[in-house]
Amino acid sequence: MITPHFLDQFSLAQLFLATLAAMVLFIEIGFRIGRHSQSKAAKAQSSQVRSIMGAVLGLLAFILAFSFATGQSHYEVRVQYMVEEARLARNVYFQAEFLPAPYADQARQIIRKYIGDRIQADQLARENKVVEILELTEQSEQMHKDLWRIAAITENLSDESRNVGMGRDPFTELVSSLIDIHAQRLQAALMNRIPNIIWISLYLCALLSMLVVGYQAGLVGRRSPIATVSLALVFSGIMMLITDLDRPLMSLFHMDNHIMVEIMQMMDAEQAALLEIGTGD
């Protein structure tokens, strides 16, 4: 299951409209309560409510800043793992040149397919195609097994021509690291999420803040629809940015996979050069 959070079952647009509507509703409820209590409210009570409103809005801003920083850190970790995976895949491709035939060609074909699937998965993520991404992930894990099988066979062959116990072959080390970084990348995308209790606290604090804002407006008997709606829009928009940063399949943010494309182009160019050399011979 890619989306373990309860908010992930809703699209970003649905969440934004629901959050905005809830905030405006709580502002209106607070205004009506404050207007009903206006005749009973003393000047000291109005001043006290303003102080509470400032404290609650400050707390909401703090939670938003904390949540945004957490979501941003999760996004940066996913980017770092993608770059590291691309680096390891490139090194596996280069190191495969030293393998005996026919394993060198097999390993290179596998790693080229691996990079191609990674590029395709990034495109599917932008289109929010979960089933296709799961299928590509399963194919990637199968390619890991195929690479490991090649590494085991070639390492056993190399042990026969040198002293056993000299350490792992470089190709084996790279394949092992590639498998590890794949698992870390999946964990970062699927499990490294903002906890549900933080989301509940954030929404409760936001709604109560809007309630106090409306209550304060009701006590003074005046409200500005433009100001209150703008306040709800700003907070709702920031909450959607945090939501998108924390999701495995982002809508507003996208990871730049240019490094994967460059590696694929390099592999294609080298493959074309080898074919040209073979044709020339």
Residue 58 makes CB contacts below 8 A (sequence gap 6+) with: none
Domain residue limits, the chain: 6-280
pLDDT value at position 143?
A: 94
Burial of 254 (0-12, 13-18, 19+ CB in 10 A): exposed
pLDDT value at position 127?
A: 77
Tokens 């908010």 identify what position? 7
Count of residues for the chain?
A: 281
What is the C-alpha radius of gyration for the chain, rounded to an integer number of angstroms? 28
pTM for the full predicted model: 0.80
Task: Give pLDDT < 50 ranges for the chain.
Answer: 1-3
pLDDT value at position 129?
A: 82
Taking CA atoms, 158 is separated from 93, 169, 278, in Å, by 19, 8, 27
Instruction: Quickly list DSSP for 72-110.
Output: HHHHHHHHHHHHHHHHHHHHHHHHGGGSPTTHHHHHHHH
Contacts of range 220-228, beta carbons closer than 8 Å, 24 or more positions apart:
220/46, 221/35, 221/38, 223/31, 228/24, 228/27
| Six-digit token string for 211 | 């309630």
Cβ-contact 83, 259 below 8 angstroms = yes
Give the tens place of pLDDT for each residue, 23-51: 999 999 998 888 887 665 555 577 788 88
Query: How far apart, in whole angstroms, are the C-alpha atoms of residue 271 and residue 266?
Result: 9
pLDDT value at position 277?
A: 67
Nearest CA to 94 out of 149, 174, 178, 166 is that of: 174
